[in-house]
Chain A
Amino acid sequence: AQRVTQPEKLLSVFKGAPVELKCNYSYSGSPELFWYVQYSRQRLQLLLRHISRESIKGFTADLNKGETSFHLKKPFAQEEDSAMYYCALSGNSGGSNYKLTFGKGTLLTVNP
């Protein structure tokens, strides 16, 4: 079975402060991990994926297989970062078809 855990339902920081959204996963195979974001009144969209190893809007995420984590980080949060963030894992749970399993999401609020 594949599982994604986001322990924080809500996260509130001040503008300019560092932010880290935690994500842990459980998967027996080689994981493929993503962060999706949903801004207010917008559709869910991909923020970044671990195989790209790139920084998007100042966010980075490193896959740590030892700790089975894929935490999302940004050194200086901006108000426009306020959104719902979902960590997701693509896996096949031993079968032939792959599916995206989402964590329960973390609502990030960046205060002025």
Chain B
Amino acid sequence: DTAVSQTPKYLVTQMGNDKSIKCEQNLGHDTMYWYKQDSKKFLKIMFSYNNKELIINETVPNRFSPKSPDKAHLNLHINSLELGDSAVYFCASSQEHGLAGGFRFSYEQYFGPGTRLTVT
């Protein structure tokens, strides 16, 4: 009964190809994210969607295009793959922020298992 799932788990492809990674969450969350973890294990946000609407787009090349067909899915399509795209890509989801005593707080993010992309 996986909460956040990603497919494929491993992806090996050649430079110049186009590939997609899929993410699904069954937690009923409104917000989904894509993160990139580089070879030094540095984890950085790429995109965030809330209710199918893009709300965060970090300085990511426009070869990367996220698509959210519904609240439970956030897919990542990458065009013209480059060697530097090799990394582990994590999907995550969370509830939208909460309010307590007039203060905003963030909910826990639930992460997928990651997709290891290798570009040769």
Contact = CB atoms under 8 A, between A and B. Distances in A.
A44 B112 CA distance: 8
Contacts of A102: 42-44
B45 A86 contact: no
A79 interface: no
* Chain A interface bracket (under 10, 10 to 19, 20 to 34, 35 or more): 20 to 34
B111 A44 contact: yes
Most buried by A among B33, B41, B45, B97: B41
Contacts of B104: 98
A14 B109 CA distance: 31
B114 A43 contact: yes
A40 interface: no
Contacts, number: 48
Q: How large is the interface on B (under 10, 10 to 19, 20 to 34, 35 or more residues)?
A: 20 to 34
B105 A32 contact: yes
Contacts of A34: 108
A13 to B, nearest CB: 19
B40 A104 contact: yes
Interface in A51-79: 51
Contact of B108 (A46, A105, A107): A46
Contacts of B97: 98
A19 interface: no
Contacts of B90: 43-44
B56 A51 contact: no
Interface of B: 4, 33, 40-45, 48, 55-56, 58, 90, 92, 97, 103-106, 108-114
Interface of A: 30, 32, 34, 43-46, 49, 51, 84, 86, 90, 97-102, 104-105, 107
5 contacts: A44-B43, A44-B111, A97-B48, A98-B104, A101-B45
